[in-house]
Amino acid sequence: MPILKVAGLGEFEVPPGKRLVKALVEEAGSDQLHACGGGARCTTCRVRFTEGEPNRMTQAERDVLAARGVTEPGVRLSCQIACDADMTVELISRLEGSGRKDQGGAVAENIEPEPVWTDR
């Protein structure tokens, strides 16, 4: 099983292919935001990779990062990533301190919208 390391929280085994945003909430127990419910619309699910950043990227992630001007290296949308290898991330968009009332809408099992994969 892939190992997800989350700075400040620890290491967690994740079912292969699980959406990273769901693993951050369900396995790691973090307060990661996901305001749009994992639909590649809000960017609140962004995390910073320090190891194991996936090489592939959905077209939806590419489009919303560009539209919002998110260009920082290693910053990716956790709702658009499947845990198919070991990864290490830092939480940079958490409920704590956000002023929001909750982490966000329910996140579906599979990546939405239907992924069109591109190279990072």
Location of structure tokens 């609140």: 44
Asked if 28 is part of the footprint of ligand FES (rule: CB under 6 A), the reply reads no
How far, CA to CA in Å, does 104 sit from each of 3, 16, 82, 101? 25, 24, 19, 8
Binding to ligand FES, residues 81-120 (CB under 6 A): none
**Which member of 4, 57, 79, 81 binds ligand FES (CB under 6 A)?**
79
d(CA 65, CA 51) in angstroms, rounded, equals: 20
Q: Which residues contact 64 (CB under 8 A, 6 or more apart)?
A: 40, 41, 43, 77
Asked if 35 is part of the footprint of ligand FES (rule: CB under 6 A), the reply reads yes
Asked if 19 is part of the footprint of ligand FES (rule: CB under 6 A), the reply reads no
Binding residue count for ligand FES, defined by CB under 6 A:
13
Interacting residues toward ligand FES by CB under 6 A: 34-36, 38-45, 77, 79
